[in-house]
Structure 1
Amino acid sequence: MNREQVERIIRKFGSQQRVAELLGIWQTAVSGWIRRGTIPARRQQQLLEVARREGIDLRPEDFFAEVDGDGRDTATQAGQATVALASTFHVSAPANGSVNGGEHRTMTTAPTTGTPLGLERAPAYVRPTKDLYEIGEIPPLGHVPKNMYAWVIRKERHGEPIHAMQQEVVPVWDIGEDECLVMVMAAGVNYNGVWASLGKPISPLDGHKHPYHIAGSDASGIVWAVGSKVKRWKVGDEVVIHCNQDDGDDEECNGGDPMLSPSQRIWGYETPDGSFAQFCRVQSRQLMPRPRHLTWEESGCYVLTLATAYRMLFGHPPHTLKPGDNVLVWGGAGGLGSMAIQLIAASGANAIAVISDEGKREFVMSLGAKGAINRREFSCWGEMPDPMDREAWSAWIKEARRFGKAIWEITGGQDVDIVFEHPGAATFPVSVFVVKRGGMVVICAGTTGYKLTLDARYLWMRQKRVQGSHFAHLKQAAAANRFVINRQVDPCMSEVFSWNDIPRAHQKMMKNEHKPGNMAVLVQARRPGMRTLEEAMED
């Protein structure tokens, strides 16, 4: 059955929602048929078997009836298929058994007795409604259970992720009029989960005041419920989630920069309802289309790092990335650095990647870096010495200049236009030193520490700019996402962890033991490699 036939049947029933109401336990399967525009061979066979048991005249050829340009049947078998489908779903069809022209009759629910669809012999894919589903168990589309499994952080457990994160059963979130509930298929691992576990420098629970915290600021999934004012998204849409939230009612949110709004907050860190749960609650403006060529886990691991990198490189005029620019990228093999290198290369600029060991050189070069520098070959890291301490200062400036010469060897003697900074304390003094006159050091984090030192003489005399940058607003995140949809940027997924290994994944990140790229975890996707909801249903 092709898309036109499916849509025609929906019109006869009145609406897709009406079909869902009539089908009941068939809801999930039918929604899959509608999205794909065809009934898979396996589903055809199962439907034929049910029809045979119920004494319904439904044949294989009924799934392939042709329709003409205005949606009417050109073969009577299409009408027979409509009647057969209606009978199978216990609804009444037009009295003459035809859908060719004639008076339109809205199908109505027919009274039934006994078990519909021969459910005493229910096929394996029938999905019951329950109050709690096991991890990887898919409810009927749109059915919201009362409870869910989640990895929960509580204030009394703050510490390393391996201990702070504990699996609990908690209520599924209620949603507001402009919010959506998303069934999480996969999620990404980033430092938000590490910081939330540690409760340092502050506990996120002190901010949002919820009794517990569910971390996770990256996800891919299925829209499962929508608020009354949500128009852009519907149940069944496949999405990725960006992590910026705001109240939407101030000047910055309406014509300015939403990232500067007083209400701006990061979902999954400053809110309690992140992605390490079967369902998450988001504002509808956090949703973006999922790149359909990616697996669930690939889709779930890149938005935070990619959108952050995009704003750092394109969001602070006049220092926006231009073709031919040279950009020094700290942590080039990490999740954030790997996104930055690809954006720089795709924009016709030159990325100079800083790596921590030679094993990462090939990786960053494969992403499009013009060159790579191993930071372990230099010793100018950490707090900058006091310039009045001549011996210590002389040793530091000598190493910093040697590092600058390593950059020149790649750029042909040019200083870098932008330094892509996120380690913080360990690298910031060198970043300010090596960026060109009038250039920009843009910083989004402090993974090695928040106390930054610099020689201010280089800052004012050479008119350099230090720019803070924090995630991205929807327009920037959507622009970044298009790089992935257009296959110009790869998610660089390095490792995939099971649901049970979510604390261990964060522990590896905290100890810097993770592989190059972005880390993903499976939630409702039972295994790696799945690309559709139907695959998850059938697994």
Structure 2
Amino acid sequence: MQKILDAILAGDLASLGTLPVPESYRGVTVRADEVEMFAGRAHADKDPRESLHVDEVPTPELGPGEALVAVMASAINYNTVWTSIFEPMDTFGFLRRYGRTSPLAKRHDQPYHVVGSDLAGVVLRTGPGVNAWQAGDEVVAHCLNVELEHPDGHNDTMLDPEQRIWGFETNFGGLAELALVKSNQLMPKPAHLSWEEAACPGLVNSTAYRQLVSRNGAGMKQGDTVLIWGASGGLGSYATQFALNGGATPVCVVSSPQKAEICRKMGAELIIDRNAEGYRFWKDENTQDPKEWKRFGARIRELTGGDDPDIVFEHPGKETFGASVYVARKGGTIVTCASTSGFMHQYDNRYLWMNLKNIVGSHFANYREAWEANRLIAKGKIHPTLSGVYPLEQTGQAAYDVHRNAHQGKVGVLCLAPEEGLGVRNPELREQHLPAINRFRGV
């Protein structure tokens, strides 16, 4: 592994195809024999630092249409938090089901799960049938793993019945020294970014692009008012940038003055600090408070000059969904991609059907959407939201921070990269955008 790293650091990428691939590598794992370790604990008390391990694991066999990537950096997503606390279920069921689909997929069914759904790195090997990529290519990866053997996937690959999220529903993910991906997950690494900066947008940037911009999501247009929950977080920070970049007006919902200031740095002007203003959408565990929905809607109109949101960018789920349905304008869209506060949503259907509102489910992105989202990063139109970086050995702490919502934007992880700041190939473009690249750092 050291020879591979030395070649990458020296810029001798052409030699990577001739260097031997290690028989094993270090990866961040959860273990099948520990899935009950948090039994009886409350959600908030489940600690990723206890369940995430850095283990030496065998290098998987490389199959047709696949690539083996030397991972310089990765990042934490909420799916890694879910995996680490075994909620809402352990991920070994995903691996077992995938393993039954083919002899080659059987590789993924292991008593360990190498996690992680982001990476920036360098291609080491490609399998039969791969022509677009070769050893030495600097890449990032999106997390759509799809078989494309069913007609349903050929209009939108996210509808393929064998669509999975790499590193969550498959093994050999990106929080590791090596990663196994399908070649159609690969995209060019933005040349003006360091490894850790390039690694952090992948999942959330692509998800936000489909959810907000794509015709498969909300189809945002110029002039739209967009309510964005968690606007300084991993997803919301990209949604805020897409809204501003696309001529829409974001209304950013945050939970602290520090997060409000980050939104202002991105260029947003309409901001609601939900904690400071005391919104409590639930009276108790089972009862929502419509008066709070109305107070929240009035606050939005106060900020916008009377406009209700054309689009509500939803991902908290249970805690906020009733309010989201209420505040969307007549004929507006509530687009949801997650449920970090709970999966069972409740809302008053009168406000949906009588006002002809739409609820749209959005899940990650197809290859085209991910490519377009990455292209905006590469052009310096959208910027990374990296706030902090951990070494691979402290991935558990990084996931713990995300679990507690103690982070801003994205949290990165150095895998093979020995330090931050490496991998920049276009310093001129970087210099033009350095304040935007760094605006989340250290917050």
Distance 1:141 1:362, change over 3 A: farther
Q: Any conservation in 1 of the 2:228–2:240 contact (CA below 8 Å)?
A: yes
* 1:454 counterpart = 2:339: no
Give the Cα–Cα distance (whole angstroms) in 2 for the partners of residues 531 and 31 of structure 1.
11
**Match for 1:270 among 169, 173, 177?**
169
- Provide closer, same or farther for how the CA distance between residues 510 and 414 of structure 1 changes in structure 2, counting only shifts above 3 A: same
Alignment of 1:481-500 (within 5 A): 481-500=374-393
The answer to whether residue 34 in structure 2 is matched with residue 157 in structure 1 is yes
| SS of structure 2 residue aligned to 1:253 | helix
Contact 2:255 2:273 in 1 (8 A): yes
| Equivalent residue, structure 2, for 1:443 | 336
Native 8 Å contact 1:28 1:140 kept in 2: no
**Which residue of 158, 181, 201 maps to 1:302?**
201
Measured in 1, the distance between the counterparts of 2:221 and 2:17 equals: 48
- 2:419 is aligned to 527
Q: Taking CA–CA contacts closer than 8 Å with sequence separation of 6 or more, which of the two structures ends up with the larger relative contact order?
A: 2
Q: Alpha carbons of 1:520 and 1:141: their partners in 2 closer, same or farther (altered >3 Å)?
A: farther
Higher strand share: 2
Matched, 1:506 2:406: no
Alpha-carbon distance, 1:336 to partner: 0.5
For the Cα contact (< 8 Å) 1:417–1:436, is it kept in 2? yes
In 2, the alpha carbon distance for the partners of 1:183 and 1:508 equals 26
Q: Secondary structure at the match of 2:81?
A: helix
Q: Offset at 1:174?
A: 1.2
2:260 & 2:415 partners in 1: Cα distance?
Answer: 32
Structure 2: 5+ residue stretches without partners: 39-46, 97-108, 426-443
**If you compute each CA radius of gyration, which structure gives the higher value, 1 or 2?**
1
Counterpart secondary structure, 2:226: strand
- Cα distance in structure 1, aligned partners of 2:231 and 2:382: 15
Q: Does 1:412 align with 2:305?
A: yes
Asked whether 1:183 is paired with 2:73, we answer no
Select 1:197's aligned residue among 81, 84, 107: 84
CA deviations on 1:193-234 (whole Å, 9 max, x unpaired) are: 111111111111112122210110011000000012100000
Unmatched runs of 5 consecutive residues or more in structure 1: 1-23, 36-126, 128-138, 387-391, 534-539
3-state secondary structure, aligned to 1:438: coil
Letter in 2 for 1:310: Y
What residue is the counterpart of 2:112 in the other structure?
212
Deviations 1:340-370 (A, max 9, x none): 0001111111111100011211101111223
262, 266, 269: which one aligns with 1:370:
269
Change in Cα spacing, 1:141 to 1:375, as seen in structure 2 (3 Å) is: farther
TM-aligned CA deviation for residue 404 of structure 1: 1.1
* Count of residue pairs the alignment pairs up: 398
Distance of 1:409 and 1:215 partners within structure 2 = 44
Q: TM-score, normalized by length of structure 1?
A: 0.70
In the TM superposition, residue 382 of structure 1 has moved relative to its aligned partner by: 3.7
TM-score (norm 2): 0.85
Q: Per the alignment, do residues 28 and 511 of structure 1 end up closer, same or farther by CA in structure 2, a change over 3 Å counting? A: closer
Aligned to 1:82: none
Report the equivalent of 1:135.
Answer: none
Alignment of 1:90-169 (within 5 A): 142-158=19-35, 159=38, 160-169=47-56
Distance, in Å, in 2 between the alignment partners of 1:30 and 1:162 is 30
- Matched residue type, 2:351: Y
For residues 141-178 of structure 1, the C-alpha deviation after alignment (integer angstroms, 9 at most, x for no partner) is 64211111111111222343111111211111211110
Distance 1:30 1:329, change over 3 A: closer
Deviation at 1:252, TM superposition (A): 2.8
Q: What SS does the aligned partner of 1:457 have? A: helix
* 8 A contact 1:383–1:425 mirrored in 2: no
**Aligned with 2:410 (options 513, 518, 523):** 518
1:351 aligns with 250
The amino acid of 2:384's aligned partner reads P
Q: SS where residue 156 of structure 1 aligns?
A: helix
- Name the % identity: 39
Contact 1:141 / 1:224 at 8 angstroms: preserved in 2?
Answer: no
2:68 is the counterpart of 1:171: no
Per the alignment, residue 259 of structure 1 pairs with: 158
Pair 1:468-2:368 in alignment: no
- Alpha-carbon distance in structure 1 between the residues aligned to 2:412 and 2:198: 9
Confirm or deny that 1:238 pairs with 2:138.
yes
| Displacement after TM superposition at 1:260 (Å) | 0.8
- Relative to structure 1, the CA distance from residue 31 to residue 185 in structure 2 (aligned partners, 3 Å threshold; closer, same or farther) is closer
Q: Deviations over 1:377-420 (max 9, x none)?
A: 1333248998xxxxx87xx2332222112111222101000000
Which amino acid in the other structure matches residue 209 of structure 2? Y
User: Quick one: which amino acid aligns to residue 188 of structure 1?
Assistant: A
Kept after mapping to 2: 8 A contact 1:265/1:271: yes
Distance 1:33 1:153 in 2: 34
Q: Please say if 1:428 is aligned against 2:321.
A: yes
Give the conservation status (yes or no) of the 8 Å contact 1:383–1:426.
Answer: no
| Match in the other structure for 1:221 | 121
User: What is the alpha-carbon distance in structure 1 between the residues aligned to residue 18 and residue 293 of structure 2?
Assistant: 58
Amino acid at match of 2:410: N
Is the 1:370–1:410 contact (alpha carbons within 8 Å) kept by the matching residues of 2? no
Structure-1 separation of matches of 2:280 and 2:63:
51
Q: CA deviation at 1:508?
A: 1.2
Residues 456 and 34 (structure 1 numbering): CA distance in 2 closer, same or farther, change over 3 Å?
A: closer
Given the superposition, is the C-alpha separation of residues 382 and 237 from structure 1 closer, same or farther in structure 2, using an over 3 Å criterion?
A: farther
Q: Which amino acid is the alignment partner of residue 342 of structure 1?
A: Q
Alpha carbons 2:217, 2:361 under 8 Å: kept: no
CA distance in 1, matches of 2:209, 2:402: 22
Alpha-carbon distance in 1 for matches of 2:82, 2:8: 41
8 Å contact kept, 1:383–1:452:
no
Over the aligned positions, Cα root-mean-square deviation in angstroms equals: 2.3
Contact 2:226 2:310 in 1 (8 A): yes
Structure 2: which amino acid aligns with 1:508?
D
8 Å CA contact 2:391–2:413 kept in 1: the answer is yes
Q: Distance in 1 between matches of 2:19 and 2:367?
A: 26
- Quote how far apart the aligned CAs of 1:316 are: 4.0
Question: How many angstroms apart in 2 are the aligned matches of 1:270 and 1:359?
Answer: 34
